[in-house]
Amino acid sequence: MTHPAFSPSNVAVVTGGASGIGLAAARRLAGLGMRVAIADLGGDRLGAAETLLKEHASPENILAVATDVSSTPDLQRLQEIVEARFGGVDVLMNNAGIQPGSSIFNPDNWDRIIAVNLFGIIRGSQVFGLPMIERQKPGLIINTGSKQGITTPPGDPAYNVSKSGVKTFTEALQHTLRNIKDCQVTAHLFIPGFVYTPLTAGDRTEKPAGAWTPEQTVDFMLERVSAGDFYILCPDNDVDRQLDERRILWSANDIIRNRPPLSRWHPDYAQEFTDFLNPRD
Ligand SMILES: NC(=O)c1ccc[n+]([C@@H]2O[C@H](COP(=O)([O-])OP(=O)(O)OC[C@H]3O[C@@H](n4cnc5c(N)ncnc54)[C@H](O)[C@@H]3O)[C@@H](O)[C@H]2O)c1
C-alpha cells in the first residue's frame, strides 16, 4: 500500500530537486502521476532537470522554481507559486543540501552549511507546514538528514552539526504534528546511506560498488514512508541495517558508559568497538 499522499494529481515539492536524490524523487513522483515542483538554485542545472522531467511526464505536471532554501522570502515565494499553479501541497521533501567540507577552527563554510542544510529545512517546514495541516488531507513532510547527523564521524563537523539539527528538528516536528487534533500530516526523517550523486562523486565517474543509486534510495524511502516509518534508515551495498544499528548503539553508549566522545575513532577503544560489532553469542 502506497501512502495516500503519493496519489495521482497530488502535489509534491522537492527542494534540491535538480540533482541526485531530489531529482530521482521528482522523477519517481511524477511517474506516479503527481504534479511536481522542483526547487533548486537557478541556472543550467535546474533548466536541464525541468527538461528531463517534462520528457518523462506530462509537461503540465512539472514546475521548476529557482529557490535558495537558505532564504525565507524565496521559500515563501515558492509556496505561493506552487499554490497558485497546483493548489495545496501533499508532499514536501526538504532535501536540498551541500557538503563543501569544514573543520573546527576554520570558520569557512560554517554559516552557509547551517543556513542551507538546517535552516533550509526548518524554514521550509514552517512555510509549508501550516497550510498543509489546514487542508485536512493526508500529507507528508520528508526531511533529508544523514547518518553523519547521528553517529557524527570526525572530518566534517559543520555538516554533522547541520544534520544533527535536522534530526532534532524533525523529531520535534513530528511530536508537534501528532499532538495537533485531527492533523493528517506526518513528518519523516529520511536518512540515506552512501548514494552516488554529484555531492559524493568527487573525481569518480562511475558509481562505486558500495554506493546505492539515487533511484534505489528513493524507492526505499517510498516503501518505508508508506509503511509508516519515521526513521527511514537506508542501507547501501556496504552497510546493512544491522551494522547501522550497532554503530548507532555504540554512539549512544558513549554517554551511558561515560566514554570519551566519538570513542569509535579513539585508538583505546578500537578493539572494543570491533568486538561490539561482532558479538559472540
Ligand atoms: N549522496 C549521499 O550519499 C547522501 C547521504 C546522506 C545524505 N545526503 C543528503 O541528501 C540530500 C541530497 O543530496 P544529493 O546527494 O542528492 O546531492 P546533490 O548535490 O546531487 O543534490 C543537492 C541539490 O541541492 C541543491 N542545492 C544546494 N544548495 C541549495 C540551496 N541553497 N537552495 C536550493 N537548492 C540547493 C543543489 O543545487 C543540488 O541540485 C542532501 O541533503 C544531502 O546532504 C546525501
Domain boundaries, given as residue ranges, for the chain: 4-238, 240-281
Predicted pLDDT of residue 1? 77
Alpha helices in 179-213 (DSSP H): 198-201
What does the pLDDT look like over 7-43, one tens digit per residue? 999 999 999 999 999 999 999 999 999 999 999 999 9
Probe residue for ligand 1, chosen from 13, 65, 69, 98 as the CB with the greatest number of ligand atoms within 8 Å = 98
Please tell me the distance between residue 180's alpha carbon and the centre of ligand 1 in angstroms. Answer: 31
| 119-133: average pLDDT | 98
Q: Nearest Cα to 225, choosing from 29, 31, 15?
A: 29
Please, what is the angle between helix 20-31 and helix 44-56, to 10°?
30
Residue positions annotated with a catalytic role: 159, 163
Beta strands in 216-255 (DSSP E): 231-233
Q: Whose CA is nearest to atom 24 of ligand 1?
A: 16
Above pLDDT 90, what percent of the chain?
97
CA distances from 91 to 26, 112, 151, 174 (A): 11, 26, 28, 15
Probe residue for ligand 1, chosen from 150, 167, 199 as the CB with the greatest number of ligand atoms within 8 Å = 199
Please tell me the distance between residue 94's alpha carbon and the centre of ligand 1 in angstroms. Answer: 10
What does the pLDDT look like over 197-206, one tens digit per residue? 999 999 999 9
Residue 47 banded pLDDT, cuts 50, 70, 90: very high
For residue 138, give the amino acid letter. P
What is the distance between the alpha carbons of residues 279 and 277, in angstroms, rounded to a whole number? 6
Fold of the domain spanning 4-238: Rossmann fold (3.40.50)
Residue 183 banded pLDDT, cuts 50, 70, 90: very high
Q: Is the pLDDT of residue 181 over 70?
A: yes
Q: How far apart are the first and last CA of the chain?
A: 37
Predicted pLDDT of residue 22? 98
Range scoring the smallest mean pLDDT among 142-146, 197-201, 261-265: 197-201
Cell match 558508559: residue? 257
Please tell me the distance between residue 142's alpha carbon and the centre of ligand 1 in angstroms. Answer: 14
Predicted pLDDT of residue 281? 61
Predicted pLDDT of residue 121? 98
Q: Judge if pTM exceeds 0.85.
A: yes
Q: Is the pLDDT of residue 168 over 80?
A: yes
Q: Whose CA is nearest to atom 40 of ligand 1?
A: 97
Q: Is the pLDDT of residue 253 over 70?
A: yes
